[in-house]
């Protein structure tokens, strides 16, 4: 199966999502500058804009960081996850606009290179009260740039999923740097209980959602499944799997998607060959498991893409005993046909 890269793959839902988001963003920036000018008439427009852009970028980064664990905790948040990269790129663009204006206002008017000036004009790196917090924002921005620049599918495929994932995990370093950037910058110059309370609330929300999602996933991934004498392990009761959908379990160091369809059950690796999309979150359409990310298809009984396409993923032996679905944890070579387990007559559909 082959798809051609598009600049941005928009569909109707994504367009609605992006337009709504852009309207909210413009509303936020306008309100921030308007209210700021009304309450502090002495502030310059540049200063208000720098603050509006900076707070918008940080708020958005918090939203982006919350979407991942929310989607893992409750599948109703999955549509937000599939559209998350536009939010991430916008976070970077807001950050770069904030940093660019600040660099121009504070460092571009002398005869020193503005970036050198940013790093050396305040050398009090040992002080808390006068810490050169702008440098922290600069390094966070470099990380956000690397993430935004590699957000296209081309990078996921060409850097390989593990490298891409590790690179994008650096967002947590950027987040930490930005929390320090705000704490040592804005909160030092303008101590305000509302500002520091909001910052603490944001950090607490991000941290607690991540902890909750991690504990939950650990339960799935570390669930002890006892192997029977023939090596099969019990997965779940058949009625836990909705028709044409899958349940996901962790076996052999990776996730397995166990699909129920047309009175049969098949198990395949959960990892799409295209870009590691979660096949178990897809559906069986026209007899094929369809990846929710870009629509690559695989036959559930063989893990092979329908001809003329050539992608293949590992399959697993599966059987149904009474109500229980059992899977053998040893993966078969990608594309190996495995007879699906047939459901008892009368149990074909929920």
Partner 1 sequence: MAAMFEILAKAFVYGLEVYAGLGFVFALVFVWAGVQSLDSEAQGSGVGFRLLILPGVAAFWPMLLYRWKKHVTEPLVEHNPHRQLSQQ
345 binds, among partner 1, ligand FES, none (CB under 5 to 8 A by kind): none
Task: Report in angstroms how near the CB of residue 56 gets to ligand FES at its nearest.
Answer: 31
Spell out the residues 6+ positions from residue 182 whose beta carbon is closer than 8 angstroms to its own: 58, 133, 199
Q: Residue 305 interacts with ligand FES (CB under 6 A)?
A: no
Do 235 and 255 meet the contact criterion of CB atoms below 8 Å apart?
Answer: no
Residues facing residue 319 across a β-bridge: 326
Could you check whether the bond before residue 3 is cis, i.e. omega within 30 degrees of 0?
no
Cα–Cα dist 84/94, whole Å:
15
- Which residue from 31, 40, 44, 158 is in contact with partner 1, where contact means CB under 8 A? 158
86/294 with CB nearer ligand FES? 294
Region at 133 (left for phi over 0; alpha for psi -120 to 50; beta for the rest): alpha
**Number of residues in contact with partner 1 under rule CB under 8 A:** 43
Piece of the chain touching ligand FES by CB under 6 A; list 35-43, 197-205, 232-240, 294-302: 294-302
333 binds partner 1 (CB under 8 A): yes
**Dist CA 15 CA 21 (whole Å):** 10
Closest CB 196 distance from partner 1, rounded Å: 30
Output 173-179 pairs: Cβ under 8 A, ≥24 positions apart.
Answer: 173/140, 173/143, 174/61, 174/140, 174/141, 174/143, 174/144, 174/147, 175/61, 175/65, 175/140, 175/206, 177/136, 177/137, 177/139, 177/140, 177/143, 178/58, 178/61, 178/136, 178/137, 178/140, 179/203
Segment lying near ligand FES (by CB under 6 A), choices 76-84, 122-130, 165-173, 267-275: 267-275
Instruction: Indicate the residue whose CB is closest to ligand FES.
Output: 277
**Residue 254's binding partner out of partner 1, ligand FES, none, with CB under 5 to 8 Å set by partner kind:** partner 1
Nearer to partner 1, 169 or 201 (CB): 169
Contact call for residue 46 and partner 1 (CB under 8 A): no
Q: At what angle are helices 45-73 and 12-39 packed, to 10 degrees?
A: 140
Q: What are the backbone angles phi and psi of residue 330, rounded to the nearest 5°?
A: -85, 115
Residue from 138, 155, 296, 298 in contact with ligand FES (CB under 6 A):
296
**Which of 102, 118, 206, 291 is close enough to bind ligand FES by CB under 6 A?**
291
How far is the first Cα of the chain from the last one, in angstroms, to the nearest whole number? Answer: 32
Site for partner 1 in 215-274 (CB under 8 A): 252-254, 256, 269, 271, 273
Q: Does 275 bind ligand FES (CB under 6 A)?
A: yes
Q: Compute the distance between CA of residue 250 and CA of residue 258 in angstroms, rounded to an integer.
A: 11
Contact of residue 72 among partner 1, ligand FES, none (CB under 5-8 Å per partner type): none
CB of 337 to ligand FES, least distance (A): 21
Binding site for partner 1 (CB under 8 A): 2-8, 113, 115-116, 119-120, 123, 145-146, 148-150, 152, 154-155, 157-162, 252-254, 256, 269, 271, 273, 276, 313-314, 330-334, 336
């Amino acid at each position: 199966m082959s798809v051609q890269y598009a600049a941005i793959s928009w569909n109707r839902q994504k367009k609605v999502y992006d337009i709504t988001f852009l309207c909210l963003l413009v509303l936020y920036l306008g309100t921030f500058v308007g209210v700021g000018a009304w309450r502090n008439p002495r502030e310059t427009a540049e200063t208000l804009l720098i603050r509006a852009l900076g707070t918008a970028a940080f708020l958005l980064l918090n939203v982006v960081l919350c979407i991942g664990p929310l989607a893992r905790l409750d599948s109703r948040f999955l549509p937000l996850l599939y559209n998350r990269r536009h939010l991430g790129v916008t976070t970077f663009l807001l950050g770069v606009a904030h940093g660019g204006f600040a660099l121009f206002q504070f460092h571009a008017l002398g005869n020193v290179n503005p970036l050198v000036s940013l790093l050396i004009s305040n050398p009090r790196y040992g002080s808390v009260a006068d810490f050169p917090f702008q440098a922290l924002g600069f390094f966070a921005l470099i990380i956000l740039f690397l993430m935004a620049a590699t957000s296209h599918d081309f990078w996921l495929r060409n850097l390989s999923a593990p490298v891409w994932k590790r690179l994008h995990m650096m967002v947590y370093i950027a987040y930490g740097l930005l929390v320090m950037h705000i704490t040592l910058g804005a909160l030092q110059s303008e101590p305000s209980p509302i500002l520091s309370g909001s910052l603490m609330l944001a950090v607490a929300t991000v941290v607690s959602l991540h902890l909750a999602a991690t504990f939950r996933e650990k339960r799935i991934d570390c669930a002890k499944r006892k192997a029977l004498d023939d090596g099969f392990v019990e997965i779940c009761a058949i009625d836990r799997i909705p028709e044409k959908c899958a349940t996901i379990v962790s076996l052999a160091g990776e996730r397995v998607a166990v699909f129920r369809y047309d009175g049969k059950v098949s198990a395949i690796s959960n990892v799409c060959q295209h870009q590691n999309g979660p096949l178990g979150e897809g559906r069986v359409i026209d007899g094929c498991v369809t990846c929710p990310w870009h629509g690559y298809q695989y036959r559930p009984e063989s893990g092979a893409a329908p001809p003329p396409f050539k992608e293949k993923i590992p399959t697993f032996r599966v059987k149904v005993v009474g109500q229980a679905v059992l899977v053998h944890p040893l993966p078969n070579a990608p594309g190996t046909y495995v007879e699906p387990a047939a459901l008892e007559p009368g149990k074909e559909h929920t």
